[in-house]
Structure 1
């Protein structure tokens, strides 16, 4: 049996899902999927440093800083110096951010249910286990197994 092209399929699925999510979230409540993800994280634990949020989202810190800048301009979040570390800045969700994330929650739950609907409970558990495995082990797997053969200059 031919092995599926997991890397390609994950990239294709990620792009399709986030493109569709961005479109509907922007139309309905004016958020992007990335902004929604930041707000979800802050509802679970408000007042986190950008580095902690970036780690949870597997985003670069500079990319997330730009995203938080735009969210702050829209008054979805605020930044405050950390009480425990004067060098650190923490991000807090505003009432406007809370209202938008709450408005998006039911739709997100319906999309999650629809994505899993065609699968049995055993398949759903396998899908969850696989996705957690990828999220937690991607760096290690790629570093260990992605040895790219670089062709000689005259072969290019």
Structure 2
């Protein structure tokens, strides 16, 4: 039988696993904001650049899904990135309703630097972890995420 770790009587706001994951993400975003500030970017702007550079997304809808934001938020972010000269939008040749997003030369230049800054930030937060603790953390978070996906099927 599956053990339930929380109940309405024992749940304490701010102390749950969900809250701790959220706080960890906030801390990580603050660190990354500092790291990418010299590039003129925020923690929300680096994601689309890296996804485009790695070929994992080419449209606003794909970028929205990958970044976990709605399309109107992504459109505003792309407006900012376009005004900075980092991306361009071109009407898709296969679907005229869709715009393909492409990195400019400057966008490519910045996108090449970002993974190194992200690695620095992650390593900063993982300082003091052993290799075994790091691998355990990764495995546990992967299981936590997989639990959500099992519930959907």
Establish whether TM, by shorter chain, passes 0.5: yes
**Partner in structure 1 of residue 30 of structure 2:** 19
**Partner in structure 2 of residue 127 of structure 1:** 137
Separation of aligned partners in 2, 1:90 and 1:134: 34
Separation of aligned partners in 2, 1:7 and 1:107: 26
Out of 53, 59, 73, the position equivalent to 1:43 is 53
What 5-or-longer segments of structure 2 have no aligned partner? 7-14
Cα distance change on mapping 1:66 and 1:32 into 2, 3 Å: same
Out of 43, 68, 71, the position equivalent to 1:61 is 71
Q: Which moved more, 1:73-82 or 1:131-140?
A: 131-140
What 5-or-longer segments of structure 1 have no aligned partner? 144-156
**Partner in structure 2 of residue 7 of structure 1:** 18
The structure whose RCO (Cα within 8 Å, separation 6+) is larger is 2
Residue 97 in structure 1 maps to residue 107 in structure 2:
yes
Cα distance change on mapping 1:85 and 1:104 into 2, 3 Å: same
**Partner in structure 1 of residue 87 of structure 2:** 77
Aligned length: 140
Cα distance change on mapping 1:98 and 1:124 into 2, 3 Å: same
Q: Tell me, yes or no, if the aligned pair for 2:91 and 2:100 is still in contact at 8 Å.
A: yes
Separation of aligned partners in 2, 1:130 and 1:78: 39
Aligned-pair RMSD on alpha carbons?
A: 2.6
Query: Over residues 77-129 of structure 1, what are the superposed CA-to-partner deviations in whole Å (9 max), with x where a residue is unaligned?
Result: 11111122222111111111111122333222222223334323333223223
Separation of aligned partners in 2, 1:52 and 1:104: 20
The TM-score, its normalising length taken from structure 1, stands at 0.75
Separation of aligned partners in 2, 1:90 and 1:47: 9
Separation of aligned partners in 2, 1:16 and 1:41: 22
